[in-house]
Amino acid sequence: MLPDERRYALVKLLLQQENGAASVARLAELFSVSEMTIRRDLTWLEARSQVRRIHGGAIVTVNDHSERPFTERAVAYNKQKQSIGAVAAHLVEDGDRIILDAGTTTREVARHLLDRRDLTVITNALPVAQELAEAPDINVIILGGVLKQEELCTVGPMVIRELARLSVNKLFLSAAGFDPERGLTDPDLQEADVKEAMILTADRVFLVADSSKWRRVALARIAPLARIEALITDEGLTAAARVALKSAGINVITPGML
């Protein structure tokens, strides 16, 4: 098991514990590595706000909300996601080449694109492709890879290789959290790798995320916050958050601005 895979599995294991904690000795036994290796992993995770070191072990500090199945997450903050999707769609023009990544908010973007003409949409998300399947003037390209069943999306090296061959005008990106210091993050290492590859493919990057994701930090870093051109979010974003984003050179777009 690679170090990144072990750290991800370690956090998942802690989340499954009743008190969210485990000893170094127990973790070393479960992962068949030395206690020194586990201590290094815990130090790495603590620096990224995933765990807190306690005497003889660690306790998890990140929640698992963002790793619920797609069908469960789709109902959370649904009105906000619908409004974000409508706003994001206003930025898409006929003839564009865009990427919609895997997420409940990007599916809402897709739902507002059905009247576009000569549009190419690239996605690794089955729900996004399904939304656009009957739009006659939209060319949908599905990125092939390993199906992540709960998230209904494809991940892995095949997806990343395909993305490296493509060039798009705009990327509409989702994330489990966005934070000034930690940047854009996701709980899944493979999804984070795909999102990073998508960013490299696009001329312009728009983060579509409801305000609850502000200051939330998940396991895997996607990119620094400065990599996005604008955040498309709901009206719930605090004034302090808007100031912090503005100082980082990031535009904030909300439904009230339309």
Q: What is the pLDDT of residue 193?
A: 95
Q: What is the pLDDT of residue 74?
A: 45
Q: What is the pLDDT of residue 96?
A: 98
pLDDT tens-place values along the chain, 258 residues long: 778 778 878 988 888 887 889 999 999 999 999 999 999 999 988 877 778 899 999 988 765 544 555 444 444 447 888 999 999 999 999 999 999 999 999 999 999 999 999 999 999 999 999 999 999 999 999 999 999 988 899 999 999 999 999 999 999 999 999 999 889 999 888 999 999 999 999 999 999 999 888 988 888 899 999 999 999 999 988 899 999 999 999 999 999 887
- Cβ neighbour number for residue 31 with a 10 Å cutoff: 17
Q: What is the pLDDT of residue 64?
A: 52
Q: List phi, psi (to 5°) of 146.
A: -85, 130
Domains 3-62 and 70-257 share a fold: no
Q: Measured between alpha carbons, how far is 112 from 98 in angstroms, rounded to an integer?
A: 14
Single pTM value for the model: 0.74
Q: What is the pLDDT of residue 71?
A: 45
* CATH class of the 70-257 domain in this structure: alpha beta
Structural domain spans, the chain: 3-62, 70-257
Q: What is the pLDDT of residue 201?
A: 97
Q: Which two tokens stand for residue 112?
A: 């507002």
Pick the CATH number of 3-62 from 3.40.50.2000, 1.10.10.10, 3.40.1350.10, 3.30.410.10: 1.10.10.10
Rg (the chain; Cα; Å): 19
